[in-house]
Structure 1
């Protein structure tokens, strides 16, 4: 009897241990384990900051849900992320500025199997960073960025996907960044069609030598700064990734009529000279990249013709300065009547732009 009791007790303990093993505590993926793409940084609290539009990272997990510990720096403010689940785009999620990551965002999935999630920053750098401390789920693992050709898209609010999405907050209400949708902007959209990676380096309102209503700042002044802020001391490490193509779409804001604030007429000579210098800066960062100059779908009639002539001139000057490099490519959009907020392309309009660009970039990728 004693032996039987002992055996029964051992079996009881063994079964208990088996149950504990099956009810394994949730695994945790910390910020340093994530493998992001875009302008990002690990801050002094060892958290990951997604800084620029559409900066993103991925992970996989098992089960029906995962907990994402995400916050923003300033209380009383808000920001947005977007995410894919198992290859399907889901939605934008508003992140409130509570100043901590104690209340996680729960992402739910159907079925207890293996799921893949990609998280994107919906807004631009000037909106502030999304800060991730950890992600918790069963059997969670970070996903590496697939080794594909990379396109960097330099531009303005159009490239950001700003003012494109009024699906939840109507145009004319809320804050400017409430209508951002970087995931659906033309750059990420055409990249997904062509199976390439992408990064966005864009700032709303900025041009090549002035902004939409002021004489300064401009993209060349902030391009080397990680967060695109003027006078920032945090410089971006351009060895982080190597684009196959660098697409530059600037000019809309330089040629803008502004908001009534007095400003000089558009200066074609200054535009071309500053643009040539900027392309040389980009080529110094990415010597092997193919440079592509894009016009603006917002330009019509005479303005469109002026911008196209300027871009053609810039191409000639760069090709002459770098005779052994790949020739600069140019693409001129068809004029568009935008349907987004404040005269910007809508999400649907961005898909039209992406469709226009698809054969152009496909040709450059060959």
Structure 2
């Protein structure tokens, strides 16, 4: 045998043996740091460069390979708890309770090998506190972004937050207020999914246009620019982060409230309501000059108050249209009356589906010019 040929075969064999001994990327566990994620909704990066999900249904996505990935999440309140929820391969899974003293990561289990996609959402509203995401571990991790699509911002109160909608784990009247929150199943995310849009939710339970459920403020116009909707917060939201094509405003339920029946509550003041609402719409238009403004009534306001609210919103529309004649006219949608059966008279998860079905044609029409 030719010596040179023998040497060549031996060298190739040694090279192949060396190649086979190298670790494959699909067999190793990697880390995806919080700074690599593409969050949607109101969020912050803290001093440790960890992602803090702030607003209702604030979310991020990632993909992994294999049967399992782990999310390292925590909350700042050691004695409290909060909730995430997630979708796996396009299917909604469940809410996940995060205890303040938890140390173990959240495990996302897939039923089979292969590539899987996960979207993680904050189930609760901003006032429950942020949920910190430190990192994700798994095989072949990749951060994913929302598809390119028009954006709808949904501004509102507890209904918009999906508060008191889901007693499937903690019955109504028990636990903490946020134990029944289900932001992803609220009407806003459902509408966005139905019309092929992305979304941002800006909501606070009990909040109003000129007064709140049981107090004079701070109202939505007073907290809208703070990242966490707290008037004492020093951090302002960066309104350049997302540019909505449509801004939906649903305020009024709490302005009409009689409060707790203990604290003095003056009769509803239509003039103050209309003036505050007009000022707030102008505030929003300064942030998003090109956005279509849509005003929604309330499915929880019925009887004479329902008519009063509709009349007031009509006046708001007329005043804004007169002041901005070159802009698209303000759109109005008045909900059909609903006797809500969720906790404390809020719409349930099932009733949010009804609200979303009612709203979908309305938003489809509003988005049509954006897609031409």
State the 1:7 CA deviation: 8.1
Structure-to-structure mapping, 1:140-159, within 5 angstroms: 140-159=141-160
Q: CA RMSD in A?
A: 1.9
Residue matched to 1:248: 249
3-state secondary structure, aligned to 2:49 = coil
Q: Report if the CA contact (8 A) 1:65-1:109 is conserved.
A: yes
3-state secondary structure, aligned to 2:86 = strand
Could you tell me how far apart the structure 2 residues matched to 1:11 and 1:206 are?
69
Residue matched to 2:238: 237
Kindly indicate whether residue 49 of structure 2 is the aligned counterpart of residue 46 of structure 1: yes
State the 1:133 CA deviation: 0.6
* 1:76-135 alpha-carbon deviations (Å, 9 max, x no partner): 110000101001111101011127xx5211100122111000000000000011100100
Residue matched to 1:197: 198
Kindly indicate whether residue 310 of structure 2 is the aligned counterpart of residue 308 of structure 1: yes
Residue matched to 1:334: 336
Residue matched to 1:68: 71
Q: TM (normalized to structure 2)?
A: 0.94
Residue matched to 1:224: 225
Distance 1:327 1:15, change over 3 A: closer
Could you tell me how far apart the structure 2 residues matched to 1:356 and 1:123 are?
24
Could you tell me how far apart the structure 1 residues matched to 2:28 and 2:114 are?
17
3-state secondary structure, aligned to 2:256 = coil
Q: Report if the CA contact (8 A) 2:26-2:139 is conserved.
A: no
Q: Report if the CA contact (8 A) 2:26-2:65 is conserved.
A: no
Could you list the runs of 5+ residues in structure 2 that have no partner in the other structure?
Answer: 1-6
3-state secondary structure, aligned to 2:154 = strand
State the 1:11 CA deviation: 7.9
Could you tell me how far apart the structure 2 residues matched to 1:210 and 1:45 are?
37
Q: Report if the CA contact (8 A) 1:162-1:179 is conserved.
A: yes
3-state secondary structure, aligned to 2:363 = helix
Residue matched to 2:4: none
State the 1:22 CA deviation: 6.3
Residue matched to 1:272: 274
Q: Report if the CA contact (8 A) 1:215-1:263 is conserved.
A: no
State the 1:214 CA deviation: 1.1
Could you tell me how far apart the structure 1 residues matched to 2:249 and 2:46 are?
29
* 1:33-82 alpha-carbon deviations (Å, 9 max, x no partner): 00011000111011000000000000111111101001101101100001
Q: TM (normalized to structure 1)?
A: 0.95
Residue matched to 1:17: 21
Residue matched to 1:211: 212
* 1:193-233 alpha-carbon deviations (Å, 9 max, x no partner): 11110110000000001110111111011000000012211
Aligned length in residues: 361
Residue matched to 1:56: 59
* 1:250-292 alpha-carbon deviations (Å, 9 max, x no partner): 0000000110111111100000001000000000000000000
Could you tell me how far apart the structure 2 residues matched to 1:215 and 1:23 are?
57
State the 1:301 CA deviation: 1.4
Residue matched to 1:186: 187
